Amino acid sequence: MAQTFLHQAGEPIAQLKPTRKRRWGGVVPYLFIFPWIFGFLVFTLGPLLFSLIISFFDWPIVGEVRFIGFGNYAEMFTDDPLFWTSLGVTLKFAALFVPLNIIVALGLAILLNQKTRGSAIFRTAFYIPSVISGVALAMIWSWVYSGDYGILNYFLSLIGIQGPDWLNDKQWSLVAMVVASLWGQGSMMLIFLAGLKGIPKDLYESASIDGAGKIRQFFSVTIPMITPTILFNLITSIIAAFQQLTLALLLTGGGPMKATYFYAMYMYENAFKYFKMGYSAANAWFMFLIVLSLTFIVFKSSEAWVFYEGEMKKNPQEKLKGQGRRRSL
């Protein structure tokens, strides 16, 4: 009976049939990626959307849940001095950390790129800190920075400087945090190293034929050639800077006097110390917006300063690169 009904429906069904068959034949690839899709939906997208929803609620863990619209967001901007404090601390940290991070990682990568004996050993040595978990790293640095017993102040005392109690000094604790954060940057260094290795040798040859010295080569060949790598590292650095939590939590606990009270920590405390889940979710979404817009700005600006293979910009220096590329072809 169903068949007669289908026949009555006529042509469209006849047309659909083969398509449907083909679609079923296509299920296998989806099965292969199903575990990932499932994980993404259940453990990433689901919680993400859920956090967006609860950001519109007053949502304590114990007690009554109440819809308050944009109340959380309004409170954040108008009524909570800690929000501004923590945001300020994070911006300061990012402003110090991001450029330093890129310079240090690039510097190490350039050193490793030299053809010297034992570069593999150095590569391993420089990478080791990234293998250490954040907690262990924090423990190490808390000893290094210790005011009375720290090795840093011991070295300083050798050259006659009485070092501060780094982690308990509101002037120095943020700097201490930046330095400790820089230490675990092995992966960024490796990405730079890969970028450096990818620069064709003949570019340098032609540059030196044209009379460019080492420094000129660095700024006119090396830097432009690795701008895509710089772009990538810049964005990941910015994101990492805004998410910095482990070190703050373990090294200073946000102190002294909120000098290292990062935005991520503020968010964490709202959620897991004061149990204001809705408010914390609103904090998180605001951070997401900040990171998103910063990333967008960097991407937009990259059109002006990032060079992909053989690309020419109006900048006259780039002729060098363009010529090199052609010759190598």
Partner 1 sequence: MKKKISLIVLATTLMATMVTACGGNSESSSSTGAAGSGETKTLRFATWDTGDALKIEQDIAKKFEAAHPGTKVQVEAYADGFDQKLAAGFGATNPPDVMYMWDFPTYHQSLEPLDSYSSNDKELNIEDFYPGLFNYGKIDGKLYGIPAGFTTRVVYYNKKLFDEGKVPYPKDGWTWKQFQDIAAKLSDKSKKQYGFGVRAENDTYDLQSFVWSNGSSFISDDGKTIEGFMNSKETAESIQMLGDMVKNGSAVLTGGKGQQSGDDIFKAGKIAMWESGIWPLESFKTAGIDVGTVEIPAFPGKPVKGVLAESALSIAKDSKQKDLAWEFVKFYVSNDSIKMRVADLPVRVSVVNELKKDQDPLYKPYYTMLERSSNTPAFLLNPKWNEVNRQLSAAVEAVMHGENAQEVLNQAVKDSERYLK
**Residues lying near partner 1 in the complex (CB under 8 A):** 61-63, 79, 81-82, 142-143, 145-148, 150, 165-168, 170, 251-253, 255-258, 272-275
| Cβ-contact 81, 266 below 8 angstroms | no
Residue 133 beta carbon to partner 1: minimum distance, rounded to whole angstroms:
18
Please, which residue, 230 or 251, has the CB nearer to partner 1?
A: 251
Please, which residue, 66 or 170, has the CB nearer to partner 1?
A: 170
Residue 136 beta carbon to partner 1: minimum distance, rounded to whole angstroms:
15
Please, which residue, 83 or 192, has the CB nearer to partner 1?
A: 83
Environment class of residue 173 by beta-carbon count within 10 Å: exposed (0-12), middle (13-18) or buried (19+)? buried
Please, which residue, 20 or 273, has the CB nearer to partner 1?
A: 273
Please, which residue, 165 or 210, has the CB nearer to partner 1?
A: 165
Please, which residue, 38 or 143, has the CB nearer to partner 1?
A: 143
Cα–Cα distance measured from residue 329 to residue 327, given in angstroms and rounded to the nearest whole number:
5
Residue 250 beta carbon to partner 1: minimum distance, rounded to whole angstroms:
9
Residue 86 beta carbon to partner 1: minimum distance, rounded to whole angstroms:
12
Residue 251 beta carbon to partner 1: minimum distance, rounded to whole angstroms:
6
| Cβ-contact 149, 143 below 8 angstroms | yes
| Cβ-contact 239, 258 below 8 angstroms | no
| Cβ-contact 177, 247 below 8 angstroms | yes
Cα–Cα distance measured from residue 243 to residue 300, given in angstroms and rounded to the nearest whole number:
22
Query: Buried b vs exposed e over 182-207: b needs ≥16 C-beta within 10 Å?
Result: bbbbbebbbbbbebbeebeeebbebb
Residue 100 beta carbon to partner 1: minimum distance, rounded to whole angstroms:
22
Token couple for 89: 């601390």
Nearest Cα neighbor of 105 from 273, 234, 14, 208 is: 234
